[in-house]
Chains A and B, each alone.
Chain A
């Protein structure tokens, strides 16, 4: 799909989301969460491009979410909380990345998993600081100093999420077209060659890792702002797995796929949970299986295929 079509599809998608949010107010929350997860999944995509899977990225989501929870009682401005929390996640990503960068594939995945589980366990057990599984509730943040309530607050967070999503979608697209982003695939296919060309593979991967931590931080902030309740479950390994799930479901090669996957995932989860309480995992798991078995390009790949057939017909 060429660039112009993609931009068009993106704008169309955003418009559909806004329409949905307007028509069904109870969907606003779900769509905001979906956008937050989509932004985080963009980071997973970057790492997937390099052939590396992180099964611990929920940690960066949780770091930002809890940062917001700790700072909010002292400083309630949402538009300041966002960059603060995101930078904290990115800094954590840099620190941890410096260690994990030496590892590849399964060891990379396991180390990320282990670190995220250490973080999760601490969140769960340090009751005096984190309130354990009860979690922390946030006061309502302000937007540009204004106190917003009810629907206007929801719209504000939704708009913020949409703006961030658009911004990062563009950033990631540009990144992937640039040498640093192209080199990610080089790590997967021929890392030794990169070294022979004088390019340190570790640096390429670290850059992508920190960017992914930043985006996960933005996702975590949105989740904190919209649900106003942070719990350790945000960091559990299944949350990390969910992110990789969405990446593949949407289509691991495309930026739009990340958001498509996230929206489908969240909508299915909400509907299935509401109507067939104990089967949403069954449904989503089966969908993923079908996608991997029959349409490895993900939902976006299916959409592209349909478009091509339409054009040929």
Chain B
């Protein structure tokens, strides 16, 4: 072997040694991070969809996540307290998301966003910020400030013992399969929907060039409302799915939205598939940090965002919009 080959072998050997020492940790981190990556993906992809048609980032999107979670918890608690079978908690999650999306989505879009669509982007952004503030208090008024928790769906599915070297670590089936599974299904379904169905392609058209789409007879206003509602449902679904894993407290909306911004900025605005990759990067980055350097856990998403933006301001998969003189 030449000099380079020798160095390579030594480097490879060192890496193998490190992996066998820490591989367990990495594996744990990966499995841990899957669930959180999945739920943050749901919010981020909804945010990106909304950005595509509205051209602004909806600060209230995190609140939709939180309200979806609260609603799911409430419905499930209602079901179980009334003696109804526990497995109903699963469809309850979806129903909660649908309710939140279908009620709040059109309401927000028609009553608020449509009214300001001709104003400067700053004002539109602030409208969503004001909405975020309002919804934060609405959550407190409806559900109070005490933690609300409901882990019925998670408990129902039990745990799976995952062998890690000599140890066996239990993970809930919920966080290993249900959450990531639904997120994967959403990703694939969305990609198929945008490419293969008429409605999906119409949405893409409006996203790409609203004026051109309108001039071709597409009802851009209706598409915008539809897309916003759909994005809201996705956010609420993300929250509903995440609710069994931790208790809901005020402030979840705020931390979720800023995390979603990190995902969306890293992925590139409007990128659906990219959002999945960025969500995985950030979700795994966080959980690896928890195991290696816990103090850095909260920093990691924003550090990733800063590094990506400094090198590629349009995000990993974003397209630069050419500035016309």
* Direct contact between the two chains A and B in their complex (CB within 8 A): yes
Residues of chain A whose beta carbon lies under 8 Å from any beta carbon of chain B: 48, 51, 53, 99, 102-103, 105-107, 110-111, 113-115, 117-118, 121-122, 124-127, 192, 236-238, 241, 244-245, 248, 252, 278-282, 284-286, 288-289, 292-293, 296
Does any Cβ of A come within 8 Å of B104's Cβ? no
Does any Cβ of A come within 8 Å of B121's Cβ? yes
Q: Which of B89-97, B136-144, B153-161, B213-221 contacts A (4 or more CB under 8 A)?
A: B136-144
A48-B122, A245-B129, A278-B140 given as contacts; is B302 within 8 A of A107 (CB)? Answer: no
Q: Tell whether, in the assembled complex, residue B134 and residue A53 are in contact, meaning their CB atoms are under 8 Å apart.
A: no
Q: Which residues of A contact B303 (CB under 8 A)?
A: 118
Does any Cβ of A come within 8 Å of B81's Cβ? no
**Known contacts A118-B302, A289-B127; can you find 13 more A-B pairs with CB under 8 A?**
A51-B122, A102-B313, A103-B313, A106-B121, A107-B313, A111-B309, A111-B313, A124-B298, A244-B129, A248-B123, A282-B133, A285-B131, A289-B131
Complex CA gap A285/B63 in Å reads 14
Does any Cβ of A come within 8 Å of B265's Cβ? yes
By Cβ-Cβ distance, the 4 closest A-B pairs, closest first, are A285-B133, A282-B137, A285-B134, A121-B298
Q: Tell whether, in the assembled complex, residue A281 and residue B313 are in contact, meaning their CB atoms are under 8 Å apart.
A: no
Does any Cβ of A come within 8 Å of B126's Cβ? yes
Chain B residue, CB-CB nearest to A196: B325
- Per a CB cutoff under 8 Å, which of B122, B305, B325 touches A53? B122
Q: Tell whether, in the assembled complex, residue B137 and residue A245 are in contact, meaning their CB atoms are under 8 Å apart.
A: no
Distance in Å: Cβ of B319 to nearest Cβ of chain A: 13
Complex CA gap A48/B57 in Å reads 18
Distance in Å: Cβ of A240 to nearest Cβ of chain B: 10
22 residue pairs A–B, Cβ–Cβ below 8 Å: A105-B121, A107-B309, A110-B265, A111-B309, A114-B305, A118-B302, A124-B298, A125-B297, A237-B254, A244-B129, A252-B122, A278-B145, A279-B137, A281-B133, A284-B133, A285-B130, A285-B131, A289-B131, A292-B116, A292-B119, A292-B123, A292-B130
Complex CA gap A292/B122 in Å reads 11
Q: Tell whether, in the assembled complex, residue B126 and residue A248 are in contact, meaning their CB atoms are under 8 Å apart.
A: yes
- Per a CB cutoff under 8 Å, which of B116, B265, B314 touches A114? B265
Complex CA gap A122/B134 in Å reads 29
A282-B134, A289-B131 given as contacts; is B141 within 8 A of A106 (CB)? Answer: no
Instruction: List CB contacts (< 8 Å) of B141-177 with chain A.
Output: 141, 145
Does any Cβ of A come within 8 Å of B299's Cβ? yes
Q: Tell whether, in the assembled complex, residue B129 and residue A241 are in contact, meaning their CB atoms are under 8 Å apart.
A: yes
Complex CA gap A51/B129 in Å reads 18
Q: Which residues of B contact A237 (CB under 8 A)?
A: 254, 258
Chain B residue, CB-CB nearest to A192: B325
Distance in Å: Cβ of B223 to nearest Cβ of chain A: 22
Distance in Å: Cβ of B56 to nearest Cβ of chain A: 8
Number of chain B residues close to chain A: CB under 8 A:
45
Complex CA gap A59/B123 in Å reads 22
Q: Which residues of A contact B145 (CB under 8 A)?
A: 278
Chain B residue, CB-CB nearest to A252: B122
Does any Cβ of A come within 8 Å of B310's Cβ? yes
Distance in Å: Cβ of B185 to nearest Cβ of chain A: 29
Distance in Å: Cβ of A59 to nearest Cβ of chain B: 11
Q: Which residues of B contact A99 (CB under 8 A)?
A: 310
Chain A residue, CB-CB nearest to B304: A114
Complex CA gap A61/B111 in Å reads 35
Complex CA gap A211/B309 in Å reads 24
Chain A residue, CB-CB nearest to B307: A114
- Per a CB cutoff under 8 Å, which of A105, A114, A124, A241 touches B59? A241
Q: Tell whether, in the assembled complex, residue B302 and residue A121 are in contact, meaning their CB atoms are under 8 Å apart.
A: yes
Distance in Å: Cβ of A105 to nearest Cβ of chain B: 7
Does any Cβ of A come within 8 Å of B125's Cβ? yes
Q: Tell whether, in the assembled complex, residue B305 and residue A106 are in contact, meaning their CB atoms are under 8 Å apart.
A: no
Complex CA gap A124/B295 in Å reads 9
- Per a CB cutoff under 8 Å, which of A118, A252, A289 touches B112? A289
Q: Tell whether, in the assembled complex, residue A278 and residue B137 are in contact, meaning their CB atoms are under 8 Å apart.
A: yes
Q: Which residues of A contact B119 (CB under 8 A)?
A: 292, 296
Q: Which residues of A contact B310 (CB under 8 A)?
A: 99, 111
Does any Cβ of A come within 8 Å of B269's Cβ? yes
Does any Cβ of A come within 8 Å of B196's Cβ? no
Q: Which residues of B contact A118 (CB under 8 A)?
A: 299, 302-303, 306
Instruction: List CB contacts (< 8 Å) of B31-60 with chain A.
Output: 57, 59
Complex CA gap A117/B297 in Å reads 12
Q: Which residues of A contact B314 (CB under 8 A)?
A: 107
Q: Which residues of B contact A125 (CB under 8 A)?
A: 295-299
Chain A residue, CB-CB nearest to B303: A118
Instruction: List CB contacts (< 8 Å) of B289-325 with chain A.
Output: 295-299, 301-303, 305-306, 309-310, 313-314, 325
Q: Which residues of A contact B131 (CB under 8 A)?
A: 285, 289
Does any Cβ of A come within 8 Å of B115's Cβ? yes
A124-B298, A282-B137 given as contacts; is B126 within 8 A of A114 (CB)? Answer: no
Does any Cβ of A come within 8 Å of B262's Cβ? yes
Complex CA gap A107/B306 in Å reads 11
Chain B residue, CB-CB nearest to A293: B115
Q: Tell whether, in the assembled complex, residue A126 and residue B295 are in contact, meaning their CB atoms are under 8 Å apart.
A: yes
- Per a CB cutoff under 8 Å, which of A238, A286, A296 touches B123? A296
Complex CA gap A40/B115 in Å reads 30
- Per a CB cutoff under 8 Å, which of A114, A238, A286, A293 touches B134? A286
Q: Which residues of B contact A284 (CB under 8 A)?
A: 130, 133
Distance in Å: Cβ of A236 to nearest Cβ of chain B: 8
Does any Cβ of A come within 8 Å of B70's Cβ? no
Q: Which residues of A contact B126 (CB under 8 A)?
A: 244-245, 248, 288, 292
Complex CA gap A102/B320 in Å reads 14
Q: Tell whether, in the assembled complex, residue B258 and residue A113 are in contact, meaning their CB atoms are under 8 Å apart.
A: yes
Instruction: List CB contacts (< 8 Å) of B274-300 with chain A.
Output: 295-299
